[in-house]
Amino acid sequence: MGSVGTPVVLRIVDVSQGSFSRAELLADVGLPPDADTAGWAGEAVEEDAYYSLLERAAGPDDHALPMRYGEALRADDLGALGLAVKTAPTIRDALHRLVRYILVLSNTVEYEMIEQPWGLTFALSGRPHHRRGAALANECALAAVTSTLRQIVGTRLTPREVMFRHEAPPTDRPHREFFGCPVSFGASLDGIDLTTEQLHQRPLLGDDGLSTYLLAQLDEHKAQSSDRPLVAEVGGAVANALPDGQPSKSQIARRLGMSERTLHRRLAEHGVSFQVVVTRARRDAAESLLRSGDRSLAEVAFLTGFSDQSAFTRAFKRWTGMTPAAFRSRPA
Protein backbone atom coordinates (compact mmCIF):
# COMPACT_ATOMS: atom_id res chain seq x y z
CA MET A 1 0.00 0.00 0.00
CA GLY A 2 1.37 3.40 -0.95
CA SER A 3 1.41 6.51 1.21
CA VAL A 4 1.20 10.29 0.88
CA GLY A 5 3.08 12.84 2.98
CA THR A 6 1.13 14.74 5.63
CA PRO A 7 2.08 18.19 4.20
CA VAL A 8 -0.11 17.30 1.20
CA VAL A 9 -2.92 15.99 3.41
CA LEU A 10 -2.92 19.06 5.65
CA ARG A 11 -3.16 21.45 2.69
CA ILE A 12 -6.10 19.46 1.33
CA VAL A 13 -7.88 19.79 4.67
CA ASP A 14 -7.08 23.52 4.86
CA VAL A 15 -8.73 24.29 1.51
CA SER A 16 -11.79 22.07 1.98
CA GLN A 17 -15.08 23.95 1.80
CA GLY A 18 -17.33 20.95 2.43
CA SER A 19 -19.60 20.05 5.31
CA PHE A 20 -16.95 18.21 7.33
CA SER A 21 -14.89 20.08 9.90
CA ARG A 22 -11.11 20.15 9.90
CA ALA A 23 -11.05 17.89 12.95
CA GLU A 24 -13.34 15.36 11.27
CA LEU A 25 -11.26 15.24 8.11
CA LEU A 26 -8.02 14.85 10.05
CA ALA A 27 -9.55 12.10 12.17
CA ASP A 28 -10.38 10.20 8.97
CA VAL A 29 -6.65 9.83 8.25
CA GLY A 30 -5.58 9.28 11.85
CA LEU A 31 -4.26 12.77 12.55
CA PRO A 32 -5.08 14.88 15.65
CA PRO A 33 -7.08 18.11 15.23
CA ASP A 34 -4.01 20.26 16.00
CA ALA A 35 -1.74 18.60 13.41
CA ASP A 36 0.41 21.07 11.46
CA THR A 37 2.93 20.83 8.64
CA ALA A 38 5.98 21.48 10.81
CA GLY A 39 5.06 19.03 13.54
CA TRP A 40 4.14 16.20 11.18
CA ALA A 41 6.83 16.63 8.51
CA GLY A 42 8.11 13.23 7.38
CA GLU A 43 4.91 11.40 8.39
CA ALA A 44 2.48 9.91 5.88
CA VAL A 45 -1.02 8.49 5.49
CA GLU A 46 -2.05 5.45 3.49
CA GLU A 47 -3.04 5.89 -0.12
CA ASP A 48 -6.65 4.69 0.19
CA ALA A 49 -7.18 6.96 3.20
CA TYR A 50 -5.90 9.88 1.11
CA TYR A 51 -8.34 9.09 -1.72
CA SER A 52 -11.21 8.84 0.75
CA LEU A 53 -10.17 12.14 2.32
CA LEU A 54 -10.29 13.86 -1.07
CA GLU A 55 -13.74 12.44 -1.78
CA ARG A 56 -15.08 13.69 1.56
CA ALA A 57 -13.30 17.06 1.34
CA ALA A 58 -14.62 17.76 -2.18
CA GLY A 59 -18.06 16.22 -1.75
CA PRO A 60 -20.05 15.58 -4.92
CA ASP A 61 -20.00 19.13 -6.27
CA ASP A 62 -16.69 20.83 -5.40
CA HIS A 63 -14.67 20.54 -8.61
CA ALA A 64 -12.29 23.37 -7.73
CA LEU A 65 -10.65 21.80 -4.65
CA PRO A 66 -7.51 20.59 -6.52
CA MET A 67 -6.91 24.09 -7.87
CA ARG A 68 -7.33 25.67 -4.42
CA TYR A 69 -4.87 23.09 -3.13
CA GLY A 70 -2.39 24.01 -5.85
CA GLU A 71 -2.67 27.70 -5.01
CA ALA A 72 -2.32 27.06 -1.26
CA LEU A 73 0.67 24.71 -1.45
CA ARG A 74 4.02 26.40 -0.86
CA ALA A 75 7.28 24.96 -2.10
CA ASP A 76 8.56 25.21 1.47
CA ASP A 77 5.81 22.77 2.55
CA LEU A 78 7.76 20.07 0.73
CA GLY A 79 10.86 20.37 2.91
CA ALA A 80 14.19 19.57 1.26
CA LEU A 81 12.43 18.65 -1.98
CA GLY A 82 10.79 22.08 -2.18
CA LEU A 83 14.09 23.84 -1.51
CA ALA A 84 15.87 21.71 -4.10
CA VAL A 85 13.26 22.69 -6.67
CA LYS A 86 13.52 26.39 -5.75
CA THR A 87 17.32 26.41 -6.12
CA ALA A 88 17.48 24.49 -9.42
CA PRO A 89 19.35 26.26 -12.27
CA THR A 90 16.37 26.05 -14.69
CA ILE A 91 12.77 24.90 -14.83
CA ARG A 92 13.94 21.75 -16.65
CA ASP A 93 16.30 20.98 -13.76
CA ALA A 94 13.52 21.63 -11.23
CA LEU A 95 11.27 19.13 -13.03
CA HIS A 96 14.08 16.59 -13.17
CA ARG A 97 14.41 16.85 -9.39
CA LEU A 98 10.70 16.19 -8.97
CA VAL A 99 11.04 13.09 -11.13
CA ARG A 100 14.00 11.82 -9.12
CA TYR A 101 12.89 12.61 -5.58
CA ILE A 102 9.07 12.53 -5.51
CA LEU A 103 9.38 9.25 -3.52
CA VAL A 104 10.43 11.38 -0.54
CA LEU A 105 6.94 12.93 -0.50
CA SER A 106 4.73 10.16 -1.90
CA ASN A 107 5.29 6.65 -3.20
CA THR A 108 1.90 6.51 -4.91
CA VAL A 109 3.03 8.47 -7.94
CA GLU A 110 5.95 8.94 -10.26
CA TYR A 111 6.70 11.53 -12.89
CA GLU A 112 8.42 11.29 -16.25
CA MET A 113 9.65 13.84 -18.77
CA ILE A 114 8.59 13.04 -22.34
CA GLU A 115 10.60 15.06 -24.86
CA GLN A 116 8.56 16.78 -27.60
CA PRO A 117 9.59 18.85 -30.66
CA TRP A 118 8.27 22.00 -28.95
CA GLY A 119 9.48 21.18 -25.41
CA LEU A 120 8.31 18.35 -23.17
CA THR A 121 5.33 16.73 -21.49
CA PHE A 122 5.73 16.42 -17.73
CA ALA A 123 3.62 13.34 -17.14
CA LEU A 124 2.22 11.69 -14.04
CA SER A 125 2.28 7.91 -13.99
CA GLY A 126 2.02 5.03 -11.57
CA ARG A 127 -1.24 6.20 -10.01
CA PRO A 128 -4.65 4.87 -11.13
CA HIS A 129 -7.79 6.91 -11.78
CA HIS A 130 -10.27 4.17 -10.90
CA ARG A 131 -12.17 6.20 -8.28
CA ARG A 132 -13.00 9.85 -7.81
CA GLY A 133 -10.43 10.29 -5.06
CA ALA A 134 -7.65 9.03 -7.34
CA ALA A 135 -8.77 11.35 -10.15
CA LEU A 136 -8.83 14.28 -7.71
CA ALA A 137 -5.36 13.27 -6.50
CA ASN A 138 -4.06 13.44 -10.06
CA GLU A 139 -5.57 16.89 -10.51
CA CYS A 140 -4.01 17.99 -7.20
CA ALA A 141 -0.60 16.72 -8.29
CA LEU A 142 -0.55 18.63 -11.58
CA ALA A 143 -2.03 21.75 -9.98
CA ALA A 144 0.74 21.59 -7.36
CA VAL A 145 3.46 21.24 -10.01
CA THR A 146 2.09 24.22 -11.94
CA SER A 147 1.77 26.35 -8.82
CA THR A 148 5.28 25.45 -7.65
CA LEU A 149 6.80 26.42 -11.00
CA ARG A 150 4.97 29.75 -10.85
CA GLN A 151 6.30 30.40 -7.36
CA ILE A 152 9.93 29.65 -8.14
CA VAL A 153 10.07 31.83 -11.28
CA GLY A 154 7.90 34.62 -9.88
CA THR A 155 5.54 34.78 -12.88
CA ARG A 156 2.23 33.17 -13.84
CA LEU A 157 3.69 30.39 -15.96
CA THR A 158 1.00 29.05 -18.31
CA PRO A 159 1.34 25.49 -19.66
CA ARG A 160 0.86 24.85 -23.36
CA GLU A 161 -1.84 22.30 -22.51
CA VAL A 162 -2.94 20.13 -19.56
CA MET A 163 -4.31 16.61 -19.95
CA PHE A 164 -6.15 14.19 -17.64
CA ARG A 165 -7.07 10.56 -18.27
CA HIS A 166 -10.32 10.63 -16.29
CA GLU A 167 -13.58 11.91 -17.67
CA ALA A 168 -14.44 15.60 -17.47
CA PRO A 169 -16.32 16.86 -14.40
CA PRO A 170 -19.69 18.60 -14.90
CA THR A 171 -17.76 21.87 -15.22
CA ASP A 172 -14.09 22.40 -16.08
CA ARG A 173 -14.16 26.16 -15.58
CA PRO A 174 -12.00 26.02 -12.41
CA HIS A 175 -9.41 24.01 -14.31
CA ARG A 176 -9.27 26.38 -17.28
CA GLU A 177 -9.09 29.43 -15.04
CA PHE A 178 -6.31 27.98 -12.90
CA PHE A 179 -4.08 26.57 -15.64
CA GLY A 180 -4.85 29.35 -18.14
CA CYS A 181 -4.64 27.01 -21.13
CA PRO A 182 -6.65 24.27 -22.89
CA VAL A 183 -7.50 21.38 -20.53
CA SER A 184 -8.34 17.98 -22.02
CA PHE A 185 -10.09 15.06 -20.29
CA GLY A 186 -10.26 11.44 -21.38
CA ALA A 187 -6.69 11.84 -22.62
CA SER A 188 -4.05 9.11 -22.94
CA LEU A 189 -2.04 10.44 -19.99
CA ASP A 190 -2.06 12.90 -17.09
CA GLY A 191 0.41 15.64 -17.89
CA ILE A 192 1.45 19.23 -18.50
CA ASP A 193 2.95 20.46 -21.77
CA LEU A 194 5.72 23.05 -21.42
CA THR A 195 7.61 24.83 -24.20
CA THR A 196 11.39 24.90 -24.66
CA GLU A 197 11.39 28.60 -23.76
CA GLN A 198 9.60 27.90 -20.48
CA LEU A 199 12.01 25.08 -19.63
CA HIS A 200 14.95 27.50 -19.92
CA GLN A 201 13.51 29.96 -17.38
CA ARG A 202 15.66 30.39 -14.26
CA PRO A 203 14.19 30.17 -10.74
CA LEU A 204 14.63 33.32 -8.65
CA LEU A 205 16.72 31.45 -6.06
CA GLY A 206 18.85 29.30 -8.37
CA ASP A 207 21.97 28.37 -6.36
CA ASP A 208 24.40 25.62 -7.40
CA GLY A 209 26.10 25.39 -3.99
CA LEU A 210 22.89 25.06 -2.01
CA SER A 211 21.53 22.64 -4.59
CA THR A 212 24.47 20.28 -4.06
CA TYR A 213 23.84 20.21 -0.32
CA LEU A 214 20.07 19.69 -0.70
CA LEU A 215 20.44 16.93 -3.28
CA ALA A 216 22.72 15.03 -0.89
CA GLN A 217 20.01 15.33 1.79
CA LEU A 218 17.37 14.09 -0.62
CA ASP A 219 19.47 11.08 -1.60
CA GLU A 220 19.64 10.17 2.08
CA HIS A 221 15.89 10.68 2.58
CA LYS A 222 15.14 8.64 -0.53
CA ALA A 223 17.27 5.77 0.75
CA GLN A 224 15.43 5.88 4.08
CA SER A 225 12.07 5.89 2.28
CA SER A 226 13.11 2.68 0.53
CA ASP A 227 14.00 0.75 3.70
CA ARG A 228 10.95 -1.54 3.41
CA PRO A 229 11.87 -5.12 2.43
CA LEU A 230 12.39 -5.13 -1.31
CA VAL A 231 9.82 -7.82 -2.12
CA ALA A 232 7.12 -5.90 -0.22
CA GLU A 233 8.16 -2.67 -1.92
CA VAL A 234 7.95 -4.25 -5.38
CA GLY A 235 4.62 -5.87 -4.55
CA GLY A 236 3.22 -2.54 -3.39
CA ALA A 237 4.40 -0.80 -6.55
CA VAL A 238 2.82 -3.53 -8.69
CA ALA A 239 -0.49 -3.33 -6.81
CA ASN A 240 -0.63 0.46 -7.29
CA ALA A 241 -0.07 0.09 -11.03
CA LEU A 242 -2.51 -2.78 -11.71
CA PRO A 243 -5.58 -0.65 -12.66
CA ASP A 244 -3.55 0.48 -15.71
CA GLY A 245 -2.78 -3.12 -16.68
CA GLN A 246 -0.04 -5.53 -15.60
CA PRO A 247 3.12 -3.40 -15.24
CA SER A 248 6.41 -4.38 -16.83
CA LYS A 249 9.63 -4.96 -14.92
CA SER A 250 11.10 -1.79 -16.43
CA GLN A 251 8.12 0.29 -15.25
CA ILE A 252 8.43 -0.99 -11.67
CA ALA A 253 12.21 -0.57 -11.68
CA ARG A 254 11.84 3.05 -12.80
CA ARG A 255 9.23 3.68 -10.13
CA LEU A 256 11.60 2.35 -7.46
CA GLY A 257 14.55 4.37 -8.76
CA MET A 258 16.71 1.50 -10.02
CA SER A 259 17.62 -0.17 -13.30
CA GLU A 260 15.74 -3.21 -14.57
CA ARG A 261 18.93 -5.27 -14.21
CA THR A 262 19.37 -4.18 -10.58
CA LEU A 263 15.75 -5.04 -9.78
CA HIS A 264 16.17 -8.49 -11.33
CA ARG A 265 19.38 -9.11 -9.37
CA ARG A 266 18.01 -7.94 -6.02
CA LEU A 267 14.83 -10.02 -6.36
CA ALA A 268 16.98 -13.02 -7.22
CA GLU A 269 18.92 -12.42 -4.01
CA HIS A 270 15.59 -12.80 -2.16
CA GLY A 271 14.86 -16.03 -4.04
CA VAL A 272 11.92 -14.74 -6.10
CA SER A 273 11.31 -13.61 -9.66
CA PHE A 274 9.49 -10.49 -10.78
CA GLN A 275 6.66 -12.59 -12.23
CA VAL A 276 6.16 -14.37 -8.90
CA VAL A 277 5.83 -11.00 -7.13
CA VAL A 278 3.35 -9.78 -9.77
CA THR A 279 1.24 -12.91 -9.44
CA ARG A 280 1.17 -12.61 -5.64
CA ALA A 281 0.19 -8.96 -5.85
CA ARG A 282 -2.63 -9.68 -8.32
CA ARG A 283 -3.94 -12.60 -6.28
CA ASP A 284 -3.80 -10.67 -3.00
CA ALA A 285 -5.56 -7.68 -4.60
CA ALA A 286 -8.22 -9.92 -6.17
CA GLU A 287 -8.97 -11.76 -2.93
CA SER A 288 -9.16 -8.51 -0.98
CA LEU A 289 -11.53 -6.93 -3.50
CA LEU A 290 -13.73 -10.03 -3.63
CA ARG A 291 -13.98 -10.18 0.16
CA SER A 292 -15.17 -6.58 0.27
CA GLY A 293 -18.15 -7.65 -1.84
CA ASP A 294 -18.99 -4.19 -3.17
CA ARG A 295 -17.49 -4.42 -6.67
CA SER A 296 -18.63 -6.36 -9.71
CA LEU A 297 -16.42 -9.12 -11.11
CA ALA A 298 -15.71 -6.94 -14.15
CA GLU A 299 -14.47 -4.15 -11.87
CA VAL A 300 -12.27 -6.57 -9.90
CA ALA A 301 -10.81 -7.84 -13.17
CA PHE A 302 -10.00 -4.27 -14.26
CA LEU A 303 -8.49 -3.29 -10.91
CA THR A 304 -6.19 -6.32 -10.93
CA GLY A 305 -4.84 -5.62 -14.40
CA PHE A 306 -6.81 -8.02 -16.58
CA SER A 307 -8.11 -7.09 -20.01
CA ASP A 308 -11.47 -8.79 -19.44
CA GLN A 309 -13.48 -10.77 -16.90
CA SER A 310 -12.94 -14.15 -18.58
CA ALA A 311 -9.14 -13.81 -18.41
CA PHE A 312 -9.44 -12.88 -14.74
CA THR A 313 -11.70 -15.85 -14.01
CA ARG A 314 -9.26 -18.30 -15.64
CA ALA A 315 -6.30 -16.89 -13.72
CA PHE A 316 -8.16 -16.83 -10.40
CA LYS A 317 -9.28 -20.45 -10.80
CA ARG A 318 -5.68 -21.41 -11.56
CA TRP A 319 -4.52 -19.64 -8.36
CA THR A 320 -7.19 -20.87 -5.96
CA GLY A 321 -8.95 -23.81 -7.56
CA MET A 322 -12.28 -21.97 -7.56
CA THR A 323 -14.01 -19.27 -9.56
CA PRO A 324 -14.16 -15.67 -8.28
CA ALA A 325 -17.92 -16.05 -7.70
CA ALA A 326 -17.40 -19.20 -5.64
CA PHE A 327 -14.64 -17.54 -3.61
CA ARG A 328 -16.88 -14.58 -2.87
CA SER A 329 -19.79 -16.76 -1.74
CA ARG A 330 -17.71 -18.72 0.80
CA PRO A 331 -18.41 -18.10 4.49
CA ALA A 332 -16.00 -15.55 5.93
Q: What ranges do the domains of the chain cover?
A: 60-210, 230-329
Least reliable range by pLDDT among 25-29, 117-121, 171-175: 25-29
Residue 148: per-residue pLDDT:
93
Mean pLDDT of 107-127: 86
Q: Is the pLDDT of residue 79 over 80?
A: no
Q: Tell me the per-residue pLDDT of 51-70, one tens digit each, with 9 for 90 and over.
A: 999 999 999 899 999 999 99
Q: Is the pLDDT of residue 189 over 80?
A: yes
Q: Is the pLDDT of residue 74 over 90?
A: no
Q: Tell me the per-residue pLDDT of 257-291, one tens digit each, with 9 for 90 and over.
A: 777 787 888 888 777 788 888 888 888 888 888 88
* pTM, to two decimals: 0.67
Nearest to 255 by CA among 243, 263, 267: 263
Q: Is the pLDDT of residue 118 over 90?
A: yes
Which has more confidence, 161 or 130? Answer: 161
Residue 101: per-residue pLDDT:
74
Mean pLDDT of 240-258: 80
Long-range contacts of 35-40 (CB under 8 A, 24+ apart): 35/6, 35/10, 36/10, 37/6, 37/7, 37/10, 37/11, 37/77, 40/6, 40/7, 40/10
The 8-class DSSP code of residue 230 comes to H
Residue 227: per-residue pLDDT:
45
Nearest to 7 by CA among 129, 148, 135: 148
Q: Is the pLDDT of residue 129 over 80?
A: no
Q: What CATH class has 230-329? A: mainly alpha
Mean pLDDT of 223-236: 68
Query: Which residue type occupies 249?
Result: K
157 Rama sector, left if φ>0, alpha if ψ -120 to 50, beta otherwise: beta
DSSP string of 72-112, one letter each residue: H--GGGGTHHHHHHHT-SSHHHHHHHHHHHGGGTBSS-EEE
Q: Which of 98-107, 150-159, 322-331 has the highest mean pLDDT?
A: 150-159
Residue 178: per-residue pLDDT:
97
Q: Is the pLDDT of residue 24 over 70?
A: yes
Residue 155: per-residue pLDDT:
93
Q: What is the mean pLDDT of the chain?
A: 84
Residue 111: per-residue pLDDT:
87
Q: Which of 26-30, 41-45, 200-204 has the highest mean pLDDT?
A: 200-204
CA–CA separation, 44 and 106 (whole Å): 8
Q: Which of 183-187, 208-212, 239-243, 278-282 has the highest mean pLDDT?
A: 183-187
Residue 259: per-residue pLDDT:
75
